[in-house]
Amino acid sequence: MALGCHIREGGPMDYEHLIYAKEEGIATITINRPQKLNAFTSAMYQGLSEIIDDVARDDGVRVLVITGTGRAFCVGADVKGLEQGLPKRPQPYAQPKPSADAVSKILTVPLQRMDKPVIAAINGIAAGGGLDTACACDIRIASERATFSSVFVRRGLLPTMGGTYFLPRLIGIDKACELIWTGDLIDAWEAERIGLVTRVVPHEELKAATEELTTKLIKGPPLAIARAKKVIYDGLNMDLESALRDIMREYTALSQTEDHREALRAFLEKREPVFKGR
């Protein structure tokens, strides 16, 4: 069994097939089940939920990176696990009403709620729930070897972790429909062309490209970045005037902060600012 170590106050905790590291303001989650293309087990899913919650609460973490080992980023749920959960007899189609608690436990919800930048470093195949997870991240840097598929339709299902929400916003309704309805596999360059990923880099440069971006972000003003993230996502569901009112409230609050004053002093003194998130 591959284990990752999650360090928190009070000692280490082990998570099955997950590696969790924190270093200099950057938290990294590495999905580490390469022999199964990093497919989720229920234990992994629970572990990821706990880790994401820890990242959100840790003021020392400014950026979260999610990546995988081997040939895959993540291919979603382990199909064998899904088969074991099936009822003995097929049931006619009916719409149950999921509880609010069940929805809040879907991994993509806390990722979107997090006020810190979340970066997917996509090293290989991102399919099913793995694709949905990547889409929930703010920025997606893909290896040239990465491939993408919303494979749910091939299992007689639709995306369960938000694909029908994220994909139209990222690539437009028509391309979202095509990917969701067909389950077709696309390569990294096509993903970049349609706007599914932020950029594509040579496979051996994925780690360096991700580190270059995270280094820029951890040197930036965390309050301004966090509030900008909130305004960006909130604005997707607002008209322009409502969005501008939201922007002005945040701008006024940020203009009173120590970080803003530090930025002005650094500019006048011709030096790099040192932001403290205050």
pLDDT in tens, the chain (278 residues): 233 344 443 333 468 899 999 999 999 999 999 999 999 998 999 999 999 999 999 999 999 999 999 999 999 988 775 555 555 555 554 566 666 666 777 889 999 999 999 999 999 999 999 999 999 999 999 999 999 999 999 989 999 899 999 999 999 999 999 999 999 999 999 999 999 999 999 999 999 999 999 999 999 999 999 999 999 999 999 999 999 999 999 999 999 999 999 999 999 999 999 999 88
Ramachandran sector of residue 185 (left: φ over 0; alpha: ψ -120 to 50; beta: rest): beta
Q: What is the CATH number of domain 3-84+99-219?
A: 3.90.226.10
Question: Structural domain boundaries of the chain?
Answer: 3-84+99-219, 222-269
Q: What is the pLDDT of residue 77?
A: 86
Q: What is the pLDDT of residue 168?
A: 97
Q: What is the pLDDT of residue 90?
A: 55
H or E element that contains 225: helix 222-235
Question: How far is the CA of 262 from the CAs of 208, 226, 271, 274, 276, in angstroms?
Answer: 29, 17, 10, 7, 9
Q: What is the pLDDT of residue 91?
A: 57
What class does CATH assign to 222-269?
mainly alpha
pTM score, whole prediction = 0.87
Q: Phi and psi of 181, rounded to 5°?
A: -75, -30
